[in-house]
Amino acid sequence: MASKTNKALFEAEKQLEKTEEQFSMLQILNEDGEVVNEAAMPQLSDEQLQELMRRMVYTRILDQRSISLNRQGRLGFYAPTAGQEASQLASQFALEKEDFILPGYRDVPQMIWHGLPLYQAFLFSRGHFKGNQIPEGVNVISPQIIIGAQIVQAAGVALGMKKRKQKSVAITYTGDGGASQGDFYEGMNFAGAFKAPAIFVVQNNRFAISTPVEKQSAAKTIAQKAVAAGIPGIQVDGMDPLAVYVAVREARERAINGEGPTLVETLTYRYGPHTMAGDDPTRYRTTDLDNEWERKDPLVRFRKFLDKKGIWNEEMENEVIENAKEDIKEAIKKADDTPKQTVTDLISNMYEELPNNLKEQYDIYKEKESK
């Protein structure tokens, strides 16, 4: 008797099924660069499509060079980005300059394309305070290292924009691991309640360091986590630049029209290690899985798509590669030429007014540094 009543009240299995089936992955370009969803195609000119390709090629080179520079001891902290170009750059491509980016540690490319000078990204990697002095008019903050903290901050920035009646959005990026944190739920819930113009991008690259996504959550998709916050969520093919662009562009439209935040889950993959600090991906990933994802590569499929349209060729690609290498050479030189950070720089950048104990140390170091 009792079980019958319970069943009628609460059909657990069906409830989840009904939710999950609403979150199937949006794809526009398949792995062969063919349009499989004409209806969802974004309105982008040939020049815009070429520009998006340029940015992805450039960023792949930047990743390769950053890894070498790190190995040579010329960079410090670095989180590889290859594989995630569509997810990172097509989402940034959907933004306007007045929008505000709250990145995680792997999201340096979006900061650069939003206006952060490259040499400052290198200084950030070295832990130099000048890497965190973002130029006026570049709407980004320093990458967040505390997993998920930027989600709550984005809700606040978005609410501020709404109160000032600005037609802009706050976009924040985290990973699948970030979506398992308390801050993720708090931020989305708050933004939902206040209809704040926020976009929450979860780059689901399947691993939080070595922990696979299946071990982090019982939820079949991360996109469905939006439901509990009362906001829409969408899962997109994160290796497909057009799908990522469309989803974020639409989320932006909704946000600036006063319709509130959106959660965008991008299904992606990082080919490299978690960071350059020494994890060994072969201990938690199989070559088969790596190969499966490399076949989905965003650059390969976008190149095929543009090639078929007759708006991309090897010469153009080589020019981007040469430009990237040249820029990187100049930027690393500029970073090298920046005076080394001193102990007093560190102290005075932490506090507006020094506490007494630090004042004493500050004076000692000031004296030492003057010699």
Ligand X SMILES: Cc1ncc(C[n+]2csc(CCOP(=O)(O)OP(=O)(O)O)c2C)c(N)n1
Chain residues binding ligand X by CB under 6 A are 106, 145-147, 174-178, 205, 207-209, 274
Catalytic residue among 270, 285, 301, 303: 270
How large is the C-alpha radius of gyration of the chain?
22
Identified catalytic residue from 185, 271, 284, 365: 284
Alpha-carbon distance of 294 to 98, in angstroms, equals: 34
Provide φ and ψ at 179, rounded to 5°: -75, -5
> Quick one: 205 or 344, whose CB is closer to Mg ion?
205
Using alpha carbons, select from 100, 51, 57 the residue that is nearest to residue 298: 57
- 236: three-class secondary structure by DSSP: strand
The nearest distance, CB 68 to Mg ion, in angstroms, is 24
Our finding on whether 148 is near Mg ion (CB under 5 A) is: no
Length of the chain: 371
Which of residues 27 and 268 has its CB atom nearest to ligand X in the complex?
268
CB of 52 to ligand X, least distance (A): 21
**Cβ within 8 Å of residue 169, ≥6 positions away:** 95, 99, 100, 158, 161, 197, 198, 199, 251, 252, 255, 256
Q: Tell how strand 211-212 and strand 207-208 pair up.
A: antiparallel
For this structure, is 164 an active site residue? no
Q: At 215, is the secondary structure helix, strand, or coil?
A: helix
- Residue 113 near which of ligand X, Mg ion, none (CB within 5-8 Å, type-dependent): none
Least distance from C-beta 359 to ligand X, angstroms?
31
**Residue 146 binds: one of Mg ion, ligand X, none (C-beta under 5 to 8 A by kind):** ligand X
Q: Which of 63, 85, 99, 176 is in the footprint of Mg ion by CB under 5 A?
A: 176
Residue, CB closest to ligand X: 175
Phi, psi of 262 (to 5 degrees): -140, 145
- If the CB atoms of residues 148 and 260 are measured against ligand X, the closer one turns out to be 148
Per CB under 5 A, the segment of 138-146, 197-205, 258-266, 313-321 that binds Mg ion is 197-205
**274 included as an active-site residue:** yes
The least CB distance from residue 207 to ligand X, in Å, is 6
Q: How far apart are CA 187 and CA 198, in angstroms?
A: 10
Q: How far apart are CA 23 and CA 268, in angstroms?
A: 16
**What is the nearest approach in angstroms of Mg ion to the Cβ of residue 269?**
9
Q: Closer to ligand X at the Cβ: 162 or 270? A: 270
As a whole number of Å, the end-to-end CA separation of the chain is: 87
Q: Is residue 175 at the binding interface for Mg ion, with CB under 5 A as the rule?
A: yes
261 is in the binding site of which of Mg ion, ligand X, none (Cβ under 5 to 8 A by kind)? Answer: none
Smallest distance, Mg ion to C-beta of residue 205, A: 4
Amino acid at 325: K
Binding mask 203-222 for Mg ion (x = CB under 5 A): --x--x--------------
- Residue number with CB closer to Mg ion (176 or 297): 176
The torsion of the CA quartet 84, 88, 91, 93, rounded to 10 degrees, works out to -120
**C-alpha to C-alpha distance for 83 and 298, rounded to whole angstroms:** 7
Query: How many residues bind Mg ion, per CB under 5 A?
Result: 4
Q: What angle do CA 189, 241, 254 make, to 5 degrees?
A: 35
Choosing from 274, 285, 301, 303, the catalytic residue is 274
> Which residue number, 210 or 342, has a Cβ lying nearer to ligand X?
210
> In the complex, which residues of this chain contact Mg ion (CB under 5 A)?
175-176, 205, 208
Catalytic positions are 270, 274, 284
